[in-house]
């Protein structure tokens, strides 16, 4: 009998998880740079104060609830409950899409209040850039989430599915926590 050697078993952390954590660290640095630039630029004057869209708060609640359902999906998969895993992943996908549409309508609220992306007023532009960049991260997470949801109908018990679901969970929690931070930052420092 031939022994199959799995190279990944010798690592402290799975190489795929390590790459994910590198991407998360890079994203944290990116947003730290933008929020630092926001604070510095705000101190220079020419800063317009305006109300954040009410949908930003609604999206914060959606982010928290979607993170809860993603965690439930992960626990269900760990307990080999394929029906619940599919259901909770589907709810997470729906909430993620709701977040995206909520951001679109929040931008419409900003425009209705004469808050435009303009170089003449940096406070307006920062809100669009920071929230838009986060939205891009959410869309990337949704692509991954859609793939995992599709795979949940085929091979819930495979080790690779469990690994990728764990990675999806980590990323989804990250973008949820990131949005909470960004919302509070924009709310407190407007």
pLDDT band at 155 (very low <50, low <70, confident <90, very high): low
Distances 11 to 8, 15, 16, 82 between C-alpha atoms, Å: 6, 8, 11, 29
Phi, psi of 80 (to 5 degrees): 55, 35
pLDDT band at 119 (very low <50, low <70, confident <90, very high): low
Annotated domain spans of the chain: 56-188
Residue 156 DSSP one-character state: T
Q: Give the CATH H-level superfamily of domain 56-188.
A: Cytochrome c oxidase, subunit III, four-helix bundle (1.20.120.80)
Residues in the chain: 190
Residue 43 has pLDDT above 90, yes or no: no
The CB density around residue 69, as the number of other CB atoms within 10 Å, is 20
Residue 5 has pLDDT above 50, yes or no: no
């Amino acid at each position: 009998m031939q022994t199959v050697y799995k190279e990944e078993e010798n690592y402290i952390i799975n190489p795929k998880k390590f790459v994910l954590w590198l991407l998360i660290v890079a994203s944290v640095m990116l947003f730290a740079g933008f929020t630092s630039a926001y604070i510095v630029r705000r101190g220079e004057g020419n800063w317009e104060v305006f109300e954040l869209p009410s949908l930003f708060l609604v999206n914060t609640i959606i982010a928290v609830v979607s993170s809860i359902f993603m965690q439930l999906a992960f626990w269900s998969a760990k307990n080999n409950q394929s029906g619940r895993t599919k259901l909770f992943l589907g709810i997470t996908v729906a909430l993620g899409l709701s977040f995206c549409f909520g951001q679109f309508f929040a931008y419409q609220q900003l425009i209705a209040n004469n808050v435009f992306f303009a170089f003449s007023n940096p406070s307006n532009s920062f809100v669009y850039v920071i929230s838009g960049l986060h939205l891009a991260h959410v869309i990337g997470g949704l692509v991954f989430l859609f793939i995992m949801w599709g795979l949940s109908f085929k091979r819930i018990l495979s080790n690779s599915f469990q690994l990728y679901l764990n990675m999806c969970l980590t990323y989804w929690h990250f973008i949820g926590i990131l949005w909470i931070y960004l919302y509070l930052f924009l709310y407190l420092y407007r």
